[in-house]
Structure 1
Amino acid sequence: MSFKIAIIGAGSVGFTKKLFTDILCVPEFKDIEFALTDVSEHNLGMIKAILDRIVEANNLPTKVTATTNRRKALEGARYIISCVRVGGLEAYADDIRIPLKYGIDQCVGDTICAGGILYGQRNIPVILDFCKDISAVAETGAKFLNYANPMAMNTWAAIEYGKVDTVGLCHGVQHGAEQIADVLGAKSPKELDYVCSGINHQTWFIELRLNGRPIGKDELVAAFEAHPVYSKQEKLRIDVLKRFGVYSTESNGHLSEYLPWYRKRPDEITRWIDMSDWIHGETGGYLRYSTETRNWFETEYPQFLEAASKPIDPARRSNEHASHILEALETNRVYRGHFNVKNNGVIANLPQDAIIESPGFVDRFGINMAAGITLPEACAATCMASINVQRMSVHAAIAGDIDLLKLAVLHDPLVGAVSTPEEVWQMVDEMVVAQAAWLPQYADAVPAAKERLSKSKVKTREWAGAARRSVRSIEELRAEKAALKQAG
C-alpha cells in the first residue's frame, strides 16, 4: 500500500514518534509517506531526525518529509492527524495563572473550565484553517484525526463548520479499562469487556464483564478500595463511583475540574487529590509536567536519537487508536474502539449535535458507531453541563463574540461555583487581552476589553493555588529518575 499521512503539530516529538512507530507496526504500511508540519522549525528538525533514524534502523522504504508549509504537507494526504497546542506553553501558562487570580484552581485546564474554553478559542480558527487546506489540497475524502484538546470543541468545529470527515481520538478509555482490569486481578486488560460512553473526559463504564462475568458496583468499589495504589491516588473517582454507580474514565485531577463539588473550596481540594503525580489533582499539574517534559527532551535529545536506532517491535504497539483505525480502513481488519463523533442518536439522552465519545467499529466502510445507548441519569446530567458550555464556546469562537464567550465561561460548572459574574467578565477580558496574539477573531474586542480593565474595581489576588509545585530542574529530574531506577 502507498498513501500519505500528514501530521500537523508534529513537533510534539514524543507523541509523533509513538504514532509513527505504531503505524509502521502494520506490515502493509511500510511504503507510505509521512509529511510532518509544525510552526517550529527547530522541533521539526528534531522529530525528522528521530524518524529518519527509525526508518534507517529498520531498513524501511518509508518516506519522511518535514516542512513549515502546512498546505504543502497536506497535498495529496489521505489521513491528517492533528496534535497541535496553539499558543504553546506560553498561552497555556495564562490559562492556569489568570483564573487563579479569581480563585479558580485547575489541574489541567484544557477541556472546559476557564483555561479549556480559552484554549478552544485559540484552536478553533486554526482548526478551520486546517479544514480549508484539507478540502483544497488533500486527497478527496481525506479523514481528519484530531488528537488535540479541547477534544469536543475542536471536533465540533471541524465537523460543523469545517465540513471535513473528522473523528476525535483520546486514550482515557483505554487507561481507565487498564485500571479496572488491574484492580479486579485480571492477567490482561483483554479479559475485560466493557461499554464506555459519554463525552470526552466524562466517559462512563456503564457495563463491565470480566471473562464474561458481569461486574457490579459493589465489587468494583471494594476492589478499588483494596488496591494499595489506586485507593490513595483515585479518591475522588472512587467517591464518584460510590455515588453514581459507575466508574469514570478520567483521571482524579481532571475529573475534579468537571465536578465542582470537589474543587470549589481550597481547603477541600487537598482532601480529594493525591500529590504523588501531577495527574491526580495538583494545581497546574499538567502545565508543570509539560514544561518539565519539554526541558528534559531538549537536554536529553541525544539519548532520544540514540534510542531511535532500536528495531520496531510490533508487540509494543500502543493502544492509541490512530494506527488501528488506519489498519481497519485500509485492510478491512475490523477494529473496535471509542471515538469522538457527532451524536446523531448514538446516545439517546444527550443532544443530537453534541460530540460524544462512545464505542464503534471500523472496517473498510468507515467508522460505524454502536447506537441505542442510554447513560445513567447522573452521568447524562454532568455531560449536559459541559455540552452546553462547549456549544456556546464553539459559537463564540466562530463569531468572535466576547459576550457569548463570557456567558460560556460563566456557565462552566467550576467557574460558576467559585466566581461571581463581575469576576468572570473581568477574567475573560484579562485572558483575551493576554492571549490576543492567538485570538484573531477577537481583535476588534481587545481595545474595549483593555479600557474596561483600566477602570475595573474587581479585586483579584496573587495565588499559587491549593496544591502547586514548582517546575523541577533537569538535575532534579535526573536524580529522581536515577532513584526510581535503583529502587526498581
Structure 2
Amino acid sequence: MSFKIAIIGAGSVGFTKKLFTDILCVPEFKDIEFALTDISEHNLGMIQAILDRIVEANGLPTKVTATTDRRKALEGARYIISCVRVGGLEAYADDIRIPLKYGIDQCVGDTICAGGILYGQRNIPVILDFCKDIREVAETDAKFLNYANPMAMNTWAAIEYGKVDTVGLCHGVQHGAEQIAEVLGAKSPRELDYVCSGINHQTWFIELRLNGRAIGKEELVAAFEAHPVYSKQEKLRIDVLKRFGVYSTESNGHLSEYLPWYRKRPDEITRWIDMSDWIHGETGGYLRYSTETRNWFETEYPQFLEAASKPIDPAKRSNEHASHILEALETNRVYRGHFNVKNNGVITNLPQDAIIESPGFVDRFGINMAAGITLPEACAATCMSSINVQRMSVHAAIAGDIDLLKLAMLHDPLVGAVSTPEEVWQMVDEMVVAQAAWLPQYADAVPAAKERLAKSKVKTREWAGAARRNVRSIDELRAEKAALKQAG
C-alpha cells in the first residue's frame, strides 16, 4: 500500500514517535509517506532525525519529510493527524495562573474549566485553517484524526464548521479499563469486556464483564478500596463510583476539575487528591509535567536518538487508536474502539449535536458507531453540564463573541462553584488580553477589555494553589530516575 499521512504538530516529539512506530507495526504500511509539519523548525529537525533513524535501522522504504509549510505537508494526504498545542507552554501557563487569582485551582485545565475554555478559543481558529487546507489540497474525503485538546471543542468545530470527516481520539478509556482489569485480578486487560460511553474525559463504564461474568458496583468498589495503590491515588474517582454506581474513565486529577464538588475549597482539594504523581490532582500538575518533559527531552536528546536505532517490535504496539483505525480502513481487519464523533442518536439521552465518546467498529466502510446507548441519569446530567459549556465555547470562538465566552465560563461547573459573575467577567477579560496574540477573533474586543480591567474593583490574589509543586531541574530528574532504577 502507498498513501500519505500528514502529522500537524509533529514537534510533539515523543507522541509523534509513538504514532509513527505504531503505524509501521502494520506490515502493509511499510511503503507509505509521513509528512511532518510544525511551526518549530527546531522540533521538526529533532523528530525527523529520530524517525529517519528508525526507518534506517529497520531497513524500511518508508518516506519521511518535514516542513513548516503546513499546506505543502497536507498535499495529497489521505490521513491528517493533529497533536498541536496552540500557544505552547507560554499560553498554557496563563490558563493555570490567571484562574488561580480568582480561586480556581485546576490540575490540568485543557478540556473544560477556565483553562480548557481558553485553550479552545486558541485552537478553534487554527483547526478551521487546518480544515480549509484539508478540503483544498488533501485527498478527496481525507480523514482528520484529532488528538489535540480540548477534544470535544476541537472535534465539534472541525465537523460543524470545518466540514471535514473528523474523529477525535483519546486514550482515557483504555487506561481506565487497564485499571479495572488490574483491581479485579485479571491476568490481562483483554479478559475485561466493557461498554464505555459519555463525552471525552467524562466517559462511564456502564457495563463490565470479566471473562464473561458481569461485574457490579459493590464488587468494583471493594476491589478499588482493597488495592494498595489506587485506593490512595483515586480517592475521588472511587467516591464518584460509590455515588454514581459506575466508574469514570478519567484520572483523579482530571475528574476533580470537571465537577463542581471537590476543588471548590483548598481543604477539600487536599482531602481528595494524591501527590504521588501530577495526574492525581496536583495544582497545575500537567503544566509542571509538560515543562519538565520538554526540558528533559532537550537535554537528553542524544539518548533518544540512539534509542531510535532499535528494531520496531510489533508486540509493543501501543493502544493508541490511530494505527488501528488506519489498519481497519485500509485492510478491512475490523477494529473496535471508542471514538469522539457527533452524537446523532448514538447516546439517546445526550443532545444530537454534542461530541460524544462511545464504542464503534472500523472497517473499509468507515467508523460505525454502536447506537442506542442510554447513560445512567446522573452520568448524563454531568455530561450535559459540560456539553452546554462546550457548545457556547465553540460558538463564541467562531464568532469572536466575548460576551458569549463569559457566559460559557460562568456555566462551567467548577468556575461557577468558586467564582462570582463579577469575578468571571474580569477573569475572562484578563485571559483574553493576556492571550491576545493567539486569539485573532477577539482583536476588536481586546481594547475594551483593557479599559474594563483598568477600572475594575474586583479583588484578586496571588495564589500558587492548594497543592503546587515547583518544576524540577534536570539534575533532580536525573537523581530521581537513578533512584527509581536502583530501587527496581
Partner-residue secondary structure (3-state), 1:425: helix
Write the distance in 1 (CA, Å) between the matches of 2:448 and 2:295: 37
Partner-residue secondary structure (3-state), 1:359: strand
Cα shift at 1:334? 0.0
> Can you list the C-alpha shifts for 1:174-198, whole angstroms capped at 9, x where unaligned?
0000000000000000000000000
Cα shift at 1:265? 0.8
Cα shift at 1:10? 0.1
Partner-residue secondary structure (3-state), 2:106: coil
Cα shift at 1:324? 0.0
> Can you list the C-alpha shifts for 1:95-141, whole angstroms capped at 9, x where unaligned?
00000000000000000000000000000000000000000000000
Write the distance in 1 (CA, Å) between the matches of 2:194 and 2:450: 51
The count of residues paired between Structure 1 and Structure 2 equals 488
Cα shift at 1:359? 0.0
> Can you list the C-alpha shifts for 1:421-454, whole angstroms capped at 9, x where unaligned?
0000000000000000000000000000000000
**Any gaps of 5 or more consecutive residues in structure 2?**
none
2:432 match: 432
Partner-residue secondary structure (3-state), 1:31: coil
Where do 1:4-15 residues align within 5 Å? 4-15=4-15
> Can you list the C-alpha shifts for 1:339-383, whole angstroms capped at 9, x where unaligned?
000000000000000000000000000000000000000000000
Partner-residue secondary structure (3-state), 2:261: helix
Write the distance in 1 (CA, Å) between the matches of 2:313 and 2:383: 39
Cα shift at 1:284? 0.1
Write the distance in 2 (CA, Å) between the matches of 1:239 and 1:422: 32
Write the distance in 1 (CA, Å) between the matches of 2:268 and 2:26: 48
1:366 match: 366
Write the distance in 1 (CA, Å) between the matches of 2:312 and 2:62: 13
Partner-residue secondary structure (3-state), 2:65: strand
Cα shift at 1:396? 0.1
Partner-residue secondary structure (3-state), 1:340: strand
> Can you list the C-alpha shifts for 1:254-292, whole angstroms capped at 9, x where unaligned?
000011201101111000000000000000000000000
Write the distance in 1 (CA, Å) between the matches of 2:428 and 2:124: 17
Name segments (4+ residues, structure 1) moved above 4 Å. none
Write the distance in 2 (CA, Å) between the matches of 1:407 and 1:479: 47
Write the distance in 2 (CA, Å) between the matches of 1:181 and 1:413: 31
Partner-residue secondary structure (3-state), 2:443: helix
Write the distance in 2 (CA, Å) between the matches of 1:266 and 1:128: 39
Write the distance in 1 (CA, Å) between the matches of 2:82 and 2:131: 11
1:35 match: 35
> Can you list the C-alpha shifts for 1:69-95, whole angstroms capped at 9, x where unaligned?
000000000000000000000000000
Write the distance in 1 (CA, Å) between the matches of 2:391 and 2:97: 25
Write the distance in 2 (CA, Å) between the matches of 1:402 and 1:218: 46
Report whether the alignment pairs 1:204 with 2:240: no
Cα shift at 1:227? 0.3
Write the distance in 1 (CA, Å) between the matches of 2:428 and 2:363: 44
Cα shift at 1:474? 0.2
> Can you list the C-alpha shifts for 1:44-84, whole angstroms capped at 9, x where unaligned?
00000000000000000000000000000000000000000
Write the distance in 2 (CA, Å) between the matches of 1:268 and 1:188: 36
2:52 match: 52
Write the distance in 2 (CA, Å) between the matches of 1:269 and 1:437: 33
Q: CA RMSD in A?
A: 0.2
> Can you list the C-alpha shifts for 1:304-356, whole angstroms capped at 9, x where unaligned?
00000000000000000000000000000000000000000000000000000
Write the distance in 2 (CA, Å) between the matches of 1:439 and 1:41: 23
Cα shift at 1:244? 0.2
Write the distance in 1 (CA, Å) between the matches of 2:409 and 2:457: 20
Write the distance in 1 (CA, Å) between the matches of 2:413 and 2:24: 42
Write the distance in 1 (CA, Å) between the matches of 2:377 and 2:328: 34
Partner-residue secondary structure (3-state), 1:16: helix
Give the fraction of aligned pairs with identical amino acids, expressed as a percent: 96
Partner-residue secondary structure (3-state), 1:260: coil
Write the distance in 2 (CA, Å) between the matches of 1:209 and 1:267: 37
Partner-residue secondary structure (3-state), 1:204: strand
1:356 match: 356
Write the distance in 2 (CA, Å) between the matches of 1:101 and 1:25: 47
1:401 match: 401
Partner-residue secondary structure (3-state), 1:261: coil
Report whether the alignment pairs 1:145 with 2:145: yes
> Can you list the C-alpha shifts for 1:124-175, whole angstroms capped at 9, x where unaligned?
0000000000000000000000000000000000000000000000000000
Write the distance in 2 (CA, Å) between the matches of 1:427 and 1:364: 48
Write the distance in 1 (CA, Å) between the matches of 2:442 and 2:235: 40
2:133 match: 133
Write the distance in 1 (CA, Å) between the matches of 2:398 and 2:232: 42
Write the distance in 2 (CA, Å) between the matches of 1:259 and 1:41: 39
Cα shift at 1:406? 0.3
Write the distance in 2 (CA, Å) between the matches of 1:258 and 1:138: 36
Write the distance in 2 (CA, Å) between the matches of 1:147 and 1:260: 26
Write the distance in 2 (CA, Å) between the matches of 1:445 and 1:41: 32
Write the distance in 2 (CA, Å) between the matches of 1:449 and 1:240: 39
> Can you list the C-alpha shifts for 1:381-410, whole angstroms capped at 9, x where unaligned?
000000000000000000000000000000
Q: TM-score, normalised by structure 1?
A: 1.00
Cα shift at 1:203? 0.1
Write the distance in 2 (CA, Å) between the matches of 1:268 and 1:130: 42
Write the distance in 2 (CA, Å) between the matches of 1:268 and 1:129: 42
Where do 1:71-470 residues align within 5 Å? 71-470=71-470
> Can you list the C-alpha shifts for 1:215-242, whole angstroms capped at 9, x where unaligned?
0000000000000000000000000000
Mean CA deviation greater in 183-192 or 257-266: 257-266
Write the distance in 2 (CA, Å) between the matches of 1:410 and 1:70: 36
Partner-residue secondary structure (3-state), 1:378: helix
Write the distance in 1 (CA, Å) between the matches of 2:370 and 2:265: 40
Write the distance in 2 (CA, Å) between the matches of 1:401 and 1:462: 28
Write the distance in 1 (CA, Å) between the matches of 2:477 and 2:420: 40
Write the distance in 2 (CA, Å) between the matches of 1:146 and 1:209: 30
Cα shift at 1:212? 0.2
Write the distance in 1 (CA, Å) between the matches of 2:134 and 2:443: 26
Cα shift at 1:295? 0.2
Write the distance in 2 (CA, Å) between the matches of 1:484 and 1:351: 47
Write the distance in 2 (CA, Å) between the matches of 1:359 and 1:168: 13
